[in-house]
A and B are shown apart, each in its own frame.
Chain A
Amino acid sequence: MSYFLKFLPTLLLFFSGIVGIVVVNDREHNSSSTKSAWSSISDLYIIFGIFVAFLAGFAIYLPDRAFGVFGEQGAAFEVLLICGVIGSLFYLSFDDQIQRKRETATLILLATAGGALLFVSVNFIELAIALETLALSVYGLCAANLLSARSSEAGIKYFFLGSFASLLIFYGMALAYGAYGSIGLLELGFRIESFPPSLLGKIGFGLLFLGILAKFGAAPMHYWVADAYQGAPVSAFIFMLTVVKVTVFGALIIILRTIAPNYQDLSDSLFWIVSVCSILLGNLLALRQRSLVRMLAFSSIAQAGYLLAGLIALENDLRGVIYYLAFYLFAVLGVVFSFAAAGLKEDQIISLSKLRRSSPLLAVFMTFSFLGLAGLPPALAGLFGKFFIFYPLIAKGWYGLVALALLGSGIGCYYYLRAVAAVYFLPIIDNDLTEGDRIKDMSDNNNSQQVEIAPYSVVAESANPYCQPLTIASLAVCLILLGLGFAPEAFWRIFS
């Protein structure tokens, strides 16, 4: 029974996905013409209903807390997973770029089923199934915008590089099995402890890590990130930044904990290199981006670097890393929701200046999230997140890594603040300017036009009919971010 209970959330998600596929199709094309916000939600009512069932199953299951290698702290990961799914499903109902919403919702649920499976997996097979279920659905999600060539390109690109990463993972698993003769994580852990590290094991676990890091979007394996994120529709983008990050990060922790005693040197040196590469490369590449989504993609590489740095000094206490993960998830949701609620036609950073006029409230939310990502108060969560990541590193003597990471965050401050400057300081640009004019305008910001503060309204008449629910959502996200910054203890207390 308890074995069944363990898989309950996964199974519920799976069935809800299947039901989604079976029941869809009949009203899909008729309903796409209606544009109102709430009708498209009612279009998704089945899926939401089953999602609620999933939550109920999770609630039954949570007291057991048999999260594989995670122990008690696995619950925190699952909660973050749920936050991510809620975020992307919520946005899905407003996403204009996606034509077949129910199928997409099915994909999201199936992907999440993979994620939920990962946190209870006890052997390599379950781990591989979880990662593949997640990955295959996300390839589809990336290409969900049927009318855009870019979206298909994103899907294909992600598929090729992702499947290559999967190959690395499988091969690594096979080699590890060859070295130790077991695929059960617990058994493997015992054997690793009792035998000295072998070359085969080193290669195996090295390949395994490289594969998972490639899926995580860490730096030397980051080539797919920008294109996949930019081409994908926004709800897939949200999903990749939240659920996929949380899940793959969980996979990293599982492997790390299993091999911890004897392969610490291997994982430490690997993560050292990868995290420094990610932080520096991600921040440097993000500096020159003109598109907001691309900038967020490169910044996600840098943030992945901070998370990986947190894994180096990992002991039993995952709270610092979880805190950072939660902070990053909500900060990104804040940026994307406020951007989406504004209903801007293009994702150029310069065009963010319209936000100031169309809706000051959203401009505030976006600024708050950006300041958090840059690690500046008043969004204290970013500052504390970095502090909680770096404190154990300092205590263990990784001074060089901390110095490089901090300098990287100094670089990162530039592009986040440039985006804030675009929101508030640039003159508002009208649509009929050409690209060249705009660049000229940005480069010589000798403002003959003064900044005008617009005719007044808080939630404005924006082009986006879904402005209001999305504004409420970004308000909620920013409040969570604020709370996370002012009371980190309260956040930890939930899971202890």
Chain B
Amino acid sequence: MGQYISRRSVHGLVSLIGLLILVFFLSRLTGDPTNLFLPLDASVETRQEFAERHGFNDPLLVQFGRYIGDLAQFDFGTSLRQQRPAMDAALEAFPTTLKLAAVTMFLAISLALIVGALAAYRPGGRFDRTASVISLAGASAPDFWVAIVGILVFAVSLRWLPTSGTGTWLHWIMPITVLLIRPFGLLVQVVRGTMISALSSAYVKTARAKGVKERVIIFVHALRNSTLPVITVAGDQAAAIVNGAVIVETIFGWPGIGRLMIDSIIQRDFAIVQATVLLTAVAIFVMNIVIDVAYAVLDPRIRHN
């Protein structure tokens, strides 16, 4: 296992370097920050002087060399906009996103397992139909739409919840719900699908024949069969949230990394773009290793490969 993890780490490092190179060069294709930073009224000379002083006029390879040189000393660059180390800004925003992702995925997986299992018990039954339609409808609703309507209904009309912001546990309800619906919808489908085939499999039939209680069959025997696909899909969805729960962070005013990344891309604050991409990529890469290890632990066949 140790060997496996170290091999994966080397792979991860290779991908990370590739990513950094790609982000560096591709982001420079999207224009020079000079015009965005300076006021529209700035003169042509001021613009020239600014670009010169910040090194935007240097050849790209020179700029890249500088970036690599700094990286070697664990200097991730200085934000043009915030005028402070880019990694500081990224690290400040990351915990919020991680918290959102953790709570959301925990709830999404728990709920999906219960609903999916119950739906699979009688495929085509009334509960199955309702659950499928509701979860799919949720998964296909535009999240910014759900978020704003949620605020108008639950905060403005009913006054049950705060509109936005952070603070009490009540502030969590709407953001988490909005984040939850898509992973939940997809996971219900996954759980349901794998459970249906498990329930008609030989070992469940054997268990039934042995007189094992139906509840035990569903939640213990059949559900175990769903673990791997659920982990795969949940991993993808968690990665998507870690990469930025942009809509939720934007609308509800949660200071997360997705928002920071988007703002920096729009303002061409390259140092922060690079720092945030690096941070989220490392996080996703660690998560993928954990998932792979979980696979190996749960399924002995994979361990031997």
Do these two chains really belong together in a complex? no
Residues on B facing A (Cβ under 8 Å): none
